[in-house]
A = this chain, B = another copy of it.
Amino acid sequence: MVPDDSTDAVVDGLVRSAFQVMGVLTRIGAEHDLSLTQLRVLGILRDRHPRMSDLAAFLGLDKSTLSGLIARAERRGLLTRSTGANDKRAVVVLITDAGRDLTQRLYEEVRDTLAPATDRLDPQQREQLAQLLERLLTTPLSATPRPERPVRGKP
């Protein structure tokens, strides 16, 4: 589809809100000595117990990056590493109670920080926004759309 004004407007909004939300997450994480990535990892671990390579793939990071990241969080007692049951090469990552508690607190803090903004919408608008975002989020974005850049639209 050729991008129109409404596409530009929505992309602009998404990018700017992304920077705003990331700013909030970064600040709140930093206040507890957690990087954005560590915060994200903890959020993921609340619902899953992935292997190192799963986590790396999901985050789009190299395995080696995860090793250091997870090691630092483990040293702080926020998560643990455990050898895989079947595949003895694998390492599964598990959140600890302390990690879960901290994550819960931080995400509540994020919600409270964003409250002045979200409160400007009425409940119906919030539902609507949540649904529109959900629709975008369930779209696969061809993770690595390498170089083919067929000039579109504007001659």
Contact = CB atoms under 8 A, between A and B. Distances in A.
Interface of A: 1, 3-4, 6-27, 40, 60, 109-121, 123-130, 132-137, 139-142, 144-145, 149, 152
Contacts of A8: 111
One complex includes copies of this chain to the number of 2
A55 to B, nearest CB: 14
Given A135-B120, A140-B116, A9 B128 contact: no
B14 A17 contact: yes
Given A21-B15, A133-B14, A7 B118 contact: yes
Contacts of A128: 128, 132
B132 A1 contact: no
